[in-house]
Chain A
């Protein structure tokens, strides 16, 4: 065994995922690499179709196959190679080492099981508790997420959207997983309820010392909850860095475009939004150059030839943009100190 340099919760090298159907092959994730240190929270940011959800699903080996084909040089969850796991090992890992909160609380709960049974289920499986003890634990978990323990025998339809998402969180955290994957956990919720749920995730993260990946399209949520940001575009990470690096020293033209498109409350109302022109690329095509080149205001000839190499700025900031070959190249978004 090679010596671990850092204490890593997740280790992903050169992850590729494609979906093969009769008509076409869709290249969803194209060579992603990242590490997640323990107790850190990483945001996976991007728009619809960027491959965020597919990436995190592969960490639990939940990409449906066929049509999905997953390849990776390394895909390790708390040091264990997910690619080599048997079905039994996967079952032992899911919910215990790594747990997931899905976007839509309405469809991720079983409508014919009480919420208590759904929380108890994983505890009985992983911790070997008997039913009575597991239901007691379910009550404690409900209380932890701010729902009265008396409601342990209620069914999902008896809860509101925000409360259902709390139940989903309680299920995910029931076995104190080392890693929590939250896939757009608040997108289906109202802002005031979103605030409650985000506060809860933050609190539990500190209490349980979980490492977290937060999948979101909302840069506001990222600013408030994450340590590290990976920006995805067309199945690739195009910029990666600390919160400070991404927000205040933005380097990639796509990241700049995202910030410029965003209406910011309290901003200058006389200024118009600056959207990114065009549309996201067709994932069934293979692009020889930078996938963002055709929408990029800075693109030159060379951008269409070969995907740019990752360049490192500072300690952790990594950017995939060929224009930085030129020593004096910079984007317009101002750096903030």
Chain B
């Protein structure tokens, strides 16, 4: 039996704005087994980053429960939270903005070790800093280098080393390769995949780029306007997408192979405002298949085949 590491139930994060309540994350539920990778994909404003942050309580969830190894993260007190923060780490999108420009590589990696009393004594800390640099593929000559002297790929490696310093069980990777060039992006993806295998890590991989998660996610969850609209094992999602939004999203990705022409579904309109939402399917205003039902009330996630979840009133019309 595989062990569930993270169990997210009905996670909700609303922000109060002058114009009303912004539904950033609205009742998202999923589980991740230990050692697996869950990809969360969606476009700007769909709530994927907020979901990642709410799980770590970097945004205090409005409601819902997050169980990490059976413990409710949302009810943890300060001391418990400190331990939980070590177990659950975050890698940020912009490796430049997330590193202190006045700290050298070795200081950046040493900081979390000392702050959290992970290593004891100078010698042990020093040894660990070098181990971590080696683990993420930072050459020893960069020991005294500053972030501005390094390219994006190396900066991101520092971010990864800082996360690994805490010996986490779960890492939330928030668009970790989006700011990188393709050749460097591939290096970092391979590094993350190797580390996962080597250290038995569990990842939540948040990205707008479906081709990236296709390569190493076990399960993929698609979000639209704060809702989870479809979740399935990676292969299944790419082969048999059911939700009209997932289909449009997949068809929109340009494929670098000649003759790979597929029927592109060009979605009309744009993502609607997440403020003061009515009780209706969030995708209905842009959906070619929306019926009266879709506009009258919202739909819940249903398991249509083992492991394949869809939130759509009309899913039965889309499967043979």
Contact = CB atoms under 8 A, between A and B. Distances in A.
A80 interface: no
A279 B255 CA distance: 25
A248 B258 CA distance: 8
Is chain B's interface secondary structure helix, strand, loop, or mixed overall? helix
Interface stretch (A56-64, A123-131, A135-143, A258-266): A258-266
Contact of A258 (B183, B193, B255, B261): B183
Nearest to B189: A273
B270 interface: yes
A223 B260 contact: yes
A219 interface: yes
A272 B216 CA distance: 9
Nearest to A162: B270
A272 B256 CA distance: 17
B270 A193 contact: yes
Nearest to A46: B181
Contacts of A267: 214-215
Contact of B256 (A190, A222, A269, A280): A222
A35 interface: no
B267 A196 contact: yes
Interface in A236-280: 243-244, 247-248, 257-267, 269, 272-277, 279-280
Given A195-B264, A273-B186, A265 B258 contact: no
B249 interface: yes
A48 B257 CA distance: 22
Is chain A's interface secondary structure helix, strand, loop, or mixed overall? helix
B234 A269 contact: yes
A192 interface: yes
B301 interface: no
Contact of A261 (B183, B234, B258, B266): B183
Given A192-B248, A192-B249, A220-B256, A263 B183 contact: no
B1 interface: no
Given A223-B257, A264-B211, A279-B151, A47 B252 contact: no
Given A193-B270, A269-B215, A262 B187 contact: no
B142 interface: no
B252 A265 contact: no
Given A160-B270, A190-B208, A196-B266, A262 B256 contact: yes
A110 B43 CA distance: 26
B151 A223 contact: no
B236 to A, nearest CB: 12
A194 interface: yes
A144 interface: no
Contacts of B249: 191-192
A38 interface: no
A237 to B, nearest CB: 18
Nearest to A268: B215
A218 B257 contact: no
Interface residues of A, number: 48
Given A47-B181, A192-B267, A258-B182, A265 B234 contact: no
A221 B254 CA distance: 5
B299 interface: no
Contact of A276 (B183, B248, B254): B183
Contact of B254 (A48, A224, A275): A224
B101 to A, nearest CB: 19
A333 interface: no
Nearest to A161: B44
B238 interface: yes
B258 A223 contact: yes
Interface in B8-53: 43-44
B210 interface: yes
B187 A259 contact: no
A242 to B, nearest CB: 10
Contacts of A163: 270
Interface string B186-229: 11011001000000000000001111101100000000000000
Contact of B258 (A191, A199, A243, A269): A243
A13 interface: no
Contacts of A192: 43, 248-249, 252, 266-267
A193 to B, nearest CB: 7
B254 A218 contact: yes
A217 interface: yes
Interface string A208-227: 00000000011111111000
Contacts of B104: none
A263 B186 CA distance: 8
B196 to A, nearest CB: 13
Interface in B243-259: 248-258
Contacts of A265: 210-211, 214, 238, 250, 253, 255
12 contacts: A191-B43, A191-B210, A195-B251, A195-B252, A247-B256, A248-B258, A257-B183, A263-B214, A264-B257, A267-B215, A277-B187, A279-B184
Given A217-B181, A263-B214, A264-B256, 16 more contacts: A47-B181, A190-B43, A191-B249, A192-B248, A192-B252, A196-B266, A247-B257, A260-B186, A263-B186, A265-B210, A265-B238, A265-B250, A266-B238, A274-B186, A277-B187, A279-B153
Q: Which are the 3 A-B pairs with shortest beta-carbon distances? A: A220-B254, A275-B186, A219-B256
